[in-house]
Amino acid sequence: MTATKPKAIRRLGDVIFANLAFFAGVSILATLATVAAFLFVQSIPAFTGPEIAAAEDGFWNYVFPFVFGTVYASIIALIIATPLAIGIALYISHFANRRFAQLLGYAVDLLAAIPSVVYGLWGILVLAPFLNPTFMWLNENLGWIPFFAGQVSATGRTMLTVGIVLAIMVLPIMAALIREVFLQTPRLHEEAALALGATRWEMIKMAVLPFGRTGIISAAMLGLGRSLGETMAVAMVLSPTAVINFAVLTSSNSNTIAANIALQFPEAGGNYSNLLIATGLVLFAITMVVNMIARWIISRRAEFSGAN
Amino acid sequence: MSKRIELQKLNVYYSSFLAVEDVNMVIEPKAITAFIGPSGCGKSTLIRTLNRMHEVIPGARVEGQLLMDGEDVYGPDVDPVRVRRQVGMVFQRPNPFPTMSIKDNVLSGYKLNNSRMSKTEAEELTEKALVGANLWNEVKDRLDKPGSGLSGGQQQRLCIARAIAVEPDVILMDEPTSALDPISTAAIEDLAVELKEKFTVVIVTHNMQQASRISDMTAFFNIAGTGMPGKLIEYDRTEKIFSNPAEQQTEDYVSGRFG
Ligand SMILES: Nc1ncnc2c1ncn2[C@@H]1O[C@H](COP(=O)(O)OP(=O)(O)OP(=O)(O)O)[C@@H](O)[C@H]1O
Ligand SMILES: [Mg+2]
């Protein structure tokens, strides 16, 4: 028995649109592949060429403090930014009156438009001196917590300052994204909660936050991606040393990969520049892994997402 | 517990728009009261004033008195949250929480009042509410699956289970079967009849047969024209409304000669 499939009708508009969409999709993959290939090929001379003075103990020993610095600074930023972004988004979407919410929305969007050099300058000139007394206090009173231990930096230019600057940088995009998700909470579910006798806050816990969960994770990953790759603000605030140091208030801080590339690249000769590109490849890999983890978290509870 | 609800000179507004005007009626306990009337006459608006859900819409307000067993629901120191815990509501479109399992959906209202509950207590209550909503046999093997995976009729019965789990005094249903097939509709109608043994039941429906099949009392609302407030035209025993109404408008509406 042969079943003949009815021939689908092909419309010109559909064909054009399908092809456009296809090429848009392919071009993203192609760009990604080209960048990865570039990083990979350009990294090779760092391992085959003459020994580089900066990395005399081998590539991994060279890059590890930077990996640590990158991830550590970004995690600090995320720990600070995520609850704040959720709070701002909740306030704008569910508490503020409409006029004020709009104003606040604009202000948040404006923060996103400030270039990172400005954030860097602001971090050095304003934030660091401003925070230093707080750092002293934290060190004196909470110094038994390893994170706040050690000799407090005199300038205030510490890992925690970097984390805060990064948090402020990623806050607007995170808040804006989470706000959009919260605004899309179905009215039906909010009313279901209220009709059961939920207070406003209980309604948010029952309907809004669970519904926005994947959006919050996506926003956090976007923020993490941005802070992982952030160069200028970090390069300007930190005076780095190649160490692994969990204490966030001291003046010996590991640099981040991106800031290190920005600082070293102009003076890098020979295959030192290839070494820096190799660290860029590591950053690329970290970002990929972060995104994969995010996808996995989201898919784990997909059937409860409300999308069905 | 089942409560008597008394509406006195109730005017319901959306900002400055008077949507329902001067309603006076007594809703009897342990009975089903049906609200019928053409679209836009304010049935949903009125039923939402009974559990103070009306006021969650910005600018919405109520004038007049609403007494529940003599207690003023809109009294100055009455907390609307407390009112809603005593008056359950089922909506037109089934709305189980999509992020919760079937069991958590059933318990969601109960947990608001009682944060600590032993595992056996939770299981007993889930079973009791689901049996009460005639859903237990269909879902007992998948209590941990999401509520959004059920059929529309099952979801609506899950919403009823969620509402009765808190043992309210009153259950409000706004067109609970309008999105459902005849078989699910029959299941919910049977359920409503069982529920009136314990609760005061108020149901909004566009289905005349449904109103005459299940309700004890029927209230007919009408509207003089767009932009005009809805009014209670006639309120009586259901047999009377459908066989021998006092008002011509009611007669026209229930016999399908409307407009
Ligand atoms: N959120 C709102 N804001 C302003 N006006 C509203 C709102 N909801 C309803 N109305 C108005 O109130 C009036 C009554 O509406 P309501 O939804 O109570 O009618 P209904 O009898 O339930 O109609 P239906 O049978 O179609 O559900 C209508 O004129 C409607 O336009
Ligand atoms: Mg309605």
List residues bridging with B87 in a β-sheet: B170
Quick: pLDDT tens for B13-46: 999 999 999 999 999 999 999 999 999 999 999 9
Which pLDDT score is estimated for A308?
Answer: 45
* Contact list, B113 vs chain A (CB under 8 Å): 197
Which pLDDT score is estimated for B163?
Answer: 93
What is the arithmetic mean of pLDDT over B143-149?
Answer: 90
Q: Does A216 touch chain B (CB under 8 A)?
A: no
Question: Is A43 part of any domain?
Answer: no
Share of chain B above pLDDT 90, in %: 80
Question: Is A2 part of any domain?
Answer: no
What is the arithmetic mean of pLDDT over A226-240?
Answer: 82
Question: Is A178 part of any domain?
Answer: yes
Between CA B48 and CA B68 the distance in angstroms is 14
Q: Does B111 touch chain A (CB under 8 A)?
A: no
Share of chain A above pLDDT 90, in %: 39
**Closest-CA residue of chain B to A191:** B53
Residue spans of beta strands (DSSP E) within chain B: 5-14, 17-27, 32-36, 60-68, 71-72, 87-90, 170-174, 200-204, 217-223, 230-237
For each of the domains in chain B, give its residue range(s) and CATH number, in order of start: 5-95+171-254 (3.40.50.300)
Question: Is A191 part of any domain?
Answer: yes
Q: What residues contact B122, with CB distance under 8 A and at least 6 apart? A: B103, B107
DSSP code of B147?
A: G
CB of B2 within 8 A of CB of B200? Answer: yes
Which pLDDT score is estimated for A34?
Answer: 94
Question: Is A271 part of any domain?
Answer: yes
Ligand nearest to the Cα of B226, by number: 1
Which pLDDT score is estimated for A98?
Answer: 83
Question: Is A17 part of any domain?
Answer: no
Q: Identify the weakest region by mean pLDDT among A19-28, A48-57, A62-71, A171-180.
A: A48-57
Question: Is A4 part of any domain?
Answer: no
What is the arithmetic mean of pLDDT over B231-248?
Answer: 95
Query: How many structural domains is chain A composed of?
Result: 1
CB of A46 within 8 A of CB of A52? Answer: yes
Is the per-residue pLDDT at A306 higher than 70? Answer: no
What is the arithmetic mean of pLDDT over A58-68?
Answer: 88
Distance from CA of A296 to the nearest CA of B (A): 17
Q: Does B56 touch chain A (CB under 8 A)?
A: yes
Is the per-residue pLDDT at A1 higher than 60? Answer: no
Domain extent, residue A231, equals 54-303
Quick: pLDDT tens for B170-218: 999 999 998 888 888 998 899 899 999 999 999 999 999 999 999 999 9
Look up the pTM and report it.
0.82
* Contact list, B51 vs chain A (CB under 8 Å): 195
Q: Identify the weakest region by mean pLDDT among A7-16, B123-132, B156-165.
A: A7-16
Is the per-residue pLDDT at A305 higher than 70? Answer: no
Report residue A303's pLDDT band, with 50, 70 and 90 as the boundaries. low
CA of B40 to the centre of ligand 1 (A): 5
Give the one of A196, A210, A308 whose C-beta lies nearest to B112's C-beta: A196
Q: Does A206 touch chain B (CB under 8 A)?
A: yes
φ, ψ of residue B34 in degrees (nearest 5): -105, 140
SS in 3 state form for B34-62?
EEECCCCCCHHHHHHHCCCCHHHCCCEEE
Which pLDDT score is estimated for A75?
Answer: 93
Between CA B27 and CA A297 the distance in angstroms is 50
Quick: pLDDT tens for B72-91: 999 999 999 999 999 999 99
Is the per-residue pLDDT at A68 higher than 70? Answer: yes
